[in-house]
Amino acid sequence: MKITGYKLKETIKRAEMVRDTVASHFNGSLHKFEGDEKDGPQDVVQKFRKADLALAKVQTIQAQYNLAVEVEVLGEKMTLMEAVKRVGGAGRVEKMWRSASGEKRDRYSYRDDDITRDKDQIRAQPTINKSQALELAQEAAKLAGALRAAIADGNSVAVELDVSLPDF
């Protein structure tokens, strides 16, 4: 079967919706009035297990797909799986440098060094200046953006896998 990452992502979303909806019925199945027509807790759990198993199978297919697709990020070749695993850390590094390049404060906040007037008091000195932090933030943003773009491109590749997707 030819499959793309986008098709897998949509199938996973549907599988999660089915599983979560079935799970939400469990507490309501623990009690019923005479004459109520609804599934008992055993039936709900059985449906949940079926939906959870289907989700696990689709996620396994997604892992196979992510290992089969190769992408290029700033001249470095890697599997789509590696790009997916690296993008989160790259985004966090970008955020760290961005926050170091310009602290956002509202008018009600203060730092410890804002509330002292003693000129003889020893204060910690910055280890990096704002412009250096900005340059590092831009460099980190370039990597994070390249990873995101490679993931988007990789997800559009159609790959032939010997699998069948569950129907939801």
What is the mean pLDDT for each group of 10 consecutive residues in the chain (168 residues)? 96 97 97 93 97 97 98 98 98 95 64 63 85 95 98 98 89
The pLDDT, as a whole number, for residue 103 is 60
20 lies in some domain: yes
168 lies in some domain: no
Tally the domains of the chain: 1
The pLDDT, as a whole number, for residue 43 is 97
Mark 62-78 as b/e (b = at least 16 C-beta within 10 Å).
bebbbebbebebeeeeb
- Count the Cβ atoms, other than its own, within 10 Å of residue 7: 16
Tell me which DSSP letter residue 124 carries: P
14 lies in some domain: yes
The pLDDT, as a whole number, for residue 147 is 98
Could you give the angle at which helices 130-155 and 5-24 cross, rounded to 10 degrees? 90
Q: Which domain holds residue 129?
A: 2-104+125-160
119 lies in some domain: no
38 lies in some domain: yes
116 lies in some domain: no
150 lies in some domain: yes
The pLDDT, as a whole number, for residue 117 is 67
User: Which residues, in sequence order, are CB contacts of 86 under 8 Å at separation 6+?
Assistant: 78, 147
d(CA 34, CA 30): 13
51 lies in some domain: yes
The pLDDT, as a whole number, for residue 120 is 80
